[in-house]
Amino acid sequence: MLEEINHIRYVYHYTSLETLFAILENYRKSKDKKGLVFRASNIFKVNDPTEMKRGYEVVKTLLPQYEIKRVTPEIMRLSEVYQTEEWEKQCKEDYFESVCGTNIEIGTVPYVISFSAKKDYLPMWSLYGNRGKGVCLKFDIEKLIGQEHVRIGFVAYNMNTIHRSFKENISFLYDLIMRPYISEGKPLTIEKKISELSTICFDISPFIKYKDYQYEKEFRLVGYKNYGIIDSNDFSIDPMLLYPSKIEVDPYIEIPIPACSLTGIILGPCMDVKVMRHVIKNEIHSCNLKMRVSKSNIPFRLK
């Protein structure tokens, strides 16, 4: 996920003018100036209904490789929950039976802020930049690194070209999680297997998508929120992962991004540049921020 950061310096966030003004106003009014506050979307509520599923598939493919390589006893192999439809059915029955009538603590829910390595890109303007009437915010990746409680990285789209770092991350997580169990030599219960598998998938899956979206060249900042203890009837393990399905979860959470990481603003190709450049510069100045405000290079005739 982090490999491309070594040779891509900037990423871009396409949004509306209204959103930009709200971000700057909140920053101007804040006393601590911790950063520019962005809304991160619940990954299960975004436009792409297949979010996380591609990541599950990758983990499902790679996990057995590590279990065999580490000579993991069968009674501890997390990949067993993926073996067959019959096994999956039995897993669900056993799991629900084991927690029936009790409360459990579910895993965290990922929330994402999306960027793109594509600068001034017409499809991105159309989809996310208010059809060319919004703005494209330029961020310095190096200044996004090191934030607490968030993970960042580029999204991978093709199983054949998934970066080595994904395999390294899965390997690291697997060793971290399984080392205590292997050292004890005790078999894992089905609920423990599903819970630990959930940890691996929730960490990896937000950074893997289907190849249909590779034109976006997406870079993500991912935060997490834990919803604590809920009733066993209010969660889902399909596809074999714990997350709230019947309870009301937040559609977004707020995540501060270092103000110094925002280095430029590009005005959309369908915008009245003469007027809005002046307005935006005044907003930036009122926040005591410095950055370049430019216009899109995409030719477009205002009517």
* Alpha-carbon distance values, 177 to 70, 145, 200, 205 (Å): 13, 25, 9, 17
Q: How many domains does the chain have?
A: 1
Cβ atoms of 255 and 111 closer than 8 Å: yes
Instruction: Specify if 276 maps to a domain.
Output: yes
Alpha-carbon gap, residue 45 to 251, rounded angstroms: 7
Is there a domain that residue 53 lies in? yes
In a domain, 302, yes or no: no
Determine, yes or no, domain membership for 301: no
Structure tokens at 205: 């899956």
Q: Is residue 63 part of a domain?
A: yes
Q: Are 42 and 173 in contact (CB under 8 A)?
A: no
Q: Is residue 204 part of a domain?
A: yes
**pLDDT tens digit string along 84-116?**
777 767 766 776 666 555 555 555 789 999 999
What is the spatial distance between Cα 299 and Cα 13, in angstroms, rounded to a whole number?
Answer: 20
The verdict on residue 303 lying in a domain is no
pLDDT digits (tens, 9 = 90+) for 1-17: 444 555 789 999 999 99
Greatest mean pLDDT among 11-15, 46-50, 63-67, 230-234: 11-15
Say if residues 12 and 138 touch (Cβ distance below 8 Å): yes
Residues 6+ apart with CB under 8 A from 298: 120, 122, 125, 132, 269
Question: Using CB atoms within 10 A of its CB, is residue 70 exposed (0-12), middle (13-18) or buried (19+)?
Answer: middle
Full domain range(s) for residue 279 = 3-295
pTM of the full structure: 0.86
Average pLDDT over residues 273-285: 92
In a domain, 241, yes or no: yes
Establish whether the linkage from the previous residue to 258 is cis, with ω within 30° of 0. no
